[in-house]
Amino acid sequence: MRRERALKVVLVVGLLFSAAVYPLMLFIKQDPSLAMMMSLYATLGIFLLIASRDPSANRSPIAFTAWSSFAHAVVMGVQAFRNLIARRELIGSAVLVVIGLALIVLAPAKESVEQSSAAGG
């Protein structure tokens, strides 16, 4: 029960991702690629908020958020070390790793076939 409650708290990260809608409007003309990325995060945020209602029924969006956070962190890290982006961006990379780890650790267990058939019958 505590684990599910903690996961629901972590899934409120969806609010932060959904907050990407405002910067999306600012960057749409200035930096189209950043606006595209923000639109993906805003959409993901909505799905995380939906998943927070019943995490065990929404394992896929939770797993996607975790693994895409890791992928994003790796890309940002490589870019920072190759001086393609500012080194201060490594902070964002670390935050994404923390989000991914929290979601993986708190992810609901996969239901066994016996449990799902017992619940349905």
Residue 104: both structure tokens together: 């993986």
**84 φ, ψ to 5°?**
-85, -25
How far apart are the C-alpha atoms of 22 and 32, rounded to whole Å? 14
The per-residue pLDDT for 121 is 54
Q: Mean pLDDT throughout 2-10? A: 84
Q: Is the pLDDT of residue 119 over 70?
A: no
pTM score, two decimals?
Answer: 0.77
The per-residue pLDDT for range 34-49, each reduced to its tens digit, is 778 888 888 888 899 8
Per-residue pLDDT tens digits for 46-97: 899 899 899 999 999 999 999 999 999 999 999 999 999 899 989 989 999 9
What is the pLDDT at residue 40? 86
Residue-level pLDDT at 116 = 57
Name every residue whose Cβ is closer than 8 Å to that of residue 27 and which is 6 or more positions away in sequence: 34, 35, 38
Q: Return the residue matching tokens 């490594």.
A: 90
pLDDT value of residue 114: 57
Residue 118 has pLDDT above 70, yes or no: no
| Distance between CA atoms of residues 76 and 67, nearest Å | 14
pLDDT at 28 over 80: no
